[in-house]
C-alpha cells in the first residue's frame, strides 16, 4: 500500500513550456486534491475532484488544468509555465464524506526559469 | 470567509521545553479542526483533529482542544524532542460536506538538543 504517489519529484522548466504532474492513490479514495505550497503562504488549493468524473476550482486555479483520469489518478497540467508557478505541489486524497482526513503525497518541487 | 491564523514562526526551543503554537479560526457554523505536521522533505501528515466543540485531539504527546468560545485550537506538547522539528499547520474544514481544507501559513519549529 503506497498511499499517494507523485511524479516527478523535481522538475525545472523554462517559461512557456508545458508539463503534467502525475498523482495516484491506491486507497480507493473518492476525493483528490492539488495544492501548491509557497513560503509564508501555507497550502493553497488549486483544484479538487470530489469523485471520478468531476473537478472543481479551488483558491488559485489560473494557469492550471486537471484531469481525473479514473478513481486512482488525478493529474495537474501547466500549459504554459510561468515563473510565478515555481512552487512545491502536493497531491492529496480523502475517502469521502464520512472521514475528514486528507492523505498527502511527498510533493513535486517545480522551478520555472 | 473561512480563514485560519497561526502564530508566526520560526519557533526555536530546547529539548524538553513546553510547546504552544497558537491557532485561531474564522468560520461559520461548526468546522472540524486539524493539525498537520510536515517533516523536512516530506508531505503533510495528520497529527490530530477535533470535530466538535470541547473535543480534545491528541497524538504523539501533542494535544489541542477545540474552543468554540475563543475560536481557537492551540497545539501543545509538554516536553518536545529534537525529532519534533518540523512545520506545523493548523487547518479547518467547514461544516456541510465541504470538500476543502483551509490551512494556516504554518509554523516552523526547531528543537535543539
What is the per-residue pLDDT across A8-32, written as a single tens digit (0 to 9) for each? 999 999 999 999 999 999 999 999 9
Mean pLDDT of B25-49: 91
Other Cβ atoms closer than 10 A to A98:
5
Provide the shortest C-alpha distance from residue A99 to chain B (in Å). 10
φ, ψ for residue B43, nearest 5 deg: -80, 180
pLDDT at A41: 83
Q: What whole-number distance in Å separates Cα of residue B1 and Cα of residue A96?
A: 23
Q: What whole-number distance in Å separates Cα of residue B68 and Cα of residue B83?
A: 31
Pairing of strands B44-50, B56-59: unpaired
Which pLDDT band, with edges at 50, 70 and 90, does B28 fall under?
confident
pLDDT at A100: 65
User: Residue B59: CB partners within 8 Å, gap ≥ 6?
Assistant: B47, B48
Mean pLDDT of B18-42: 92
* Residue among B99, B101, B106 minimizing CB distance to A50: B99
Alpha helices (H) in chain A, listed in sequence order = none
* Residue among A4, A31, A43 minimizing CB distance to B99: A31
Q: What whole-number distance in Å separates Cα of residue B29 and Cα of residue B51?
A: 12
Do the chains contact at A106 and B43, CB–CB below 8 Å? yes
Q: Does pLDDT of A93 surpass 70?
A: yes
Mean pLDDT of B85-112: 88
Q: Which three cell numbers stand for residue B109?
A: 519549529
pLDDT at B101: 87
Q: First and final CA of chain B: distance in angstroms?
A: 41
- DSSP, res B78: S
Q: Does B35 touch chain A (CB under 8 A)?
A: no
Instruction: Show residues of chain B in contact with A29, CB under 8 Å.
Output: none
Mean pLDDT of B5-29: 94
pLDDT at A98: 55
pLDDT at B78: 96
Do the chains contact at B103 and A42, CB–CB below 8 Å? yes
Q: Does pLDDT of B69 surpass 80?
A: yes
φ, ψ for residue B17, nearest 5 deg: -75, 165
H or E stretch at B65: strand B62-65
Q: What whole-number distance in Å separates Cα of residue B107 and Cα of residue B37?
A: 10
Provide the number of CB pairs (under 8 Å) joining chain A to chain B: 49
Q: Which residue of A has its CA nearest to B89?
A: A42
φ, ψ for residue B83, nearest 5 deg: -70, -10
Amino acid at each position: 500500500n503506497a498511499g499517494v504517489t507523485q511524479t516527478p519529484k523535481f522538475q525545472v522548466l523554462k517559461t512557456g513550456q508545458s508539463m503534467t504532474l502525475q498523482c495516484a492513490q491506491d486507497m480507493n479514495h473518492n476525493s483528490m486534491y492539488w495544492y501548491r505550497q509557497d513560503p509564508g503562504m501555507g497550502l493553497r488549493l488549486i483544484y479538487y475532484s470530489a469523485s471520478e468524473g468531476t473537478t472543481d476550482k479551488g483558491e488559485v486555479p489560473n494557469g492550471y488544468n486537471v484531469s481525473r483520469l479514473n478513481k486512482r489518478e488525478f493529474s495537474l497540467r501547466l500549459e504554459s509555465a510561468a515563473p510565478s508557478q515555481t512552487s512545491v505541489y502536493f497531491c492529496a486524497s480523502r475517502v469521502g464524506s464520512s472521514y475528514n482526513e486528507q492523505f498527502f503525497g511527498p510533493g513535486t518541487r517545480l522551478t520555472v526559469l | 470567509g473561512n480563514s485560519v491564523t497561526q502564530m508566526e514562526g520560526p519557533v526555536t526551543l530546547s529539548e524538553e521545553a513546553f510547546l504552544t503554537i497558537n491557532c485561531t479560526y474564522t468560520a461559520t457554523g461548526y468546522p472540524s479542526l486539524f493539525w498537520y505536521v510536515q517533516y523536512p522533505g516530506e508531505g503533510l501528515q495528520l497529527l490530530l483533529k477535533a470535530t466538535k466543540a470541547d473535543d480534545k485531539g491528541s497524538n504523539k504527546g501533542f494535544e489541542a482542544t477545540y474552543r468554540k468560545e475563543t475560536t481557537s485550537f492551540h497545539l501543545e506538547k509538554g516536553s518536545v524532542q529534537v525529532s519534533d522539528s518540523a512545520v506545523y499547520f493548523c487547518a479547518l474544514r467547514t461544516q456541510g460536506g465541504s470538500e476543502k481544507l483551509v490551512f494556516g501559513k504554518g509554523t516552523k519549529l526547531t528543537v535543539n538538543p
